[in-house]
Amino acid sequence: SGSGGDETSLHGGCPVLGGTKWAANLWVWNAPRSGYPDAPVNAEVVELNRARNGARENQPPPPGQLHATFSNSGKDERYRNAKLYFQETFWGNLGFDDPPLGVNTFQGHVWNVKVGEETVLTWTIDGRPRQTYSV
């Protein structure tokens, strides 16, 4: 168009007749969303992913992508109720009885272990294709 506007941004919203028009996005997921403490978990999907990831343990990750596994040895009482965070986003429980957490990640990503609200350990992903971290 002659106005220089982006025609792909056209939509069917009603015109503003007076005042200010406000809009907001509403994001909807069709399954439980991870990243939040106490988020619901689909146990079948978790087990399926663990089985798939275990089958891929000896295969290299895709180009640029690295794999890290985080676990709790159960030897240090300070980490009994540890939780793993990607930066400040909850990723999963990393306590004594929790299974190891395998993630696809990239060099420079920062992973934090928290106990309560306190960050007690921080790991920065380096360039190795497969990395293992344990508390």
Instruction: Region of 74 please: left (phi>0), alpha (psi -120 to 50) or beta.
Output: left
pLDDT digits (tens, 9 = 90+) for 111-124: 999 999 999 999 99
Instruction: Supply 106's token pair.
Output: 């990239």
Average pLDDT over residues 6-14: 68
- pLDDT at position 1: 46
pLDDT at 82 over 50: yes
pLDDT at 84 over 90: yes
- pLDDT at position 27: 73
- pLDDT at position 135: 96
Angle, vertex CA 55, rays to CA 52 and CA 57, nearest 5: 110
- pLDDT at position 16: 79
Residues 6+ apart with CB under 8 A from 36: 90
| Burial bucket for residue 16 (CB in 10 Å: 0-12, 13-18, 19+) | exposed
pLDDT digits (tens, 9 = 90+) for 20-79: 888 777 777 666 566 556 666 677 877 777 777 665 555 665 667 889 999 999 999 999
pTM: 0.59
| Burial bucket for residue 91 (CB in 10 Å: 0-12, 13-18, 19+) | middle
Angle, vertex CA 6, rays to CA 10 and CA 3, nearest 5: 105
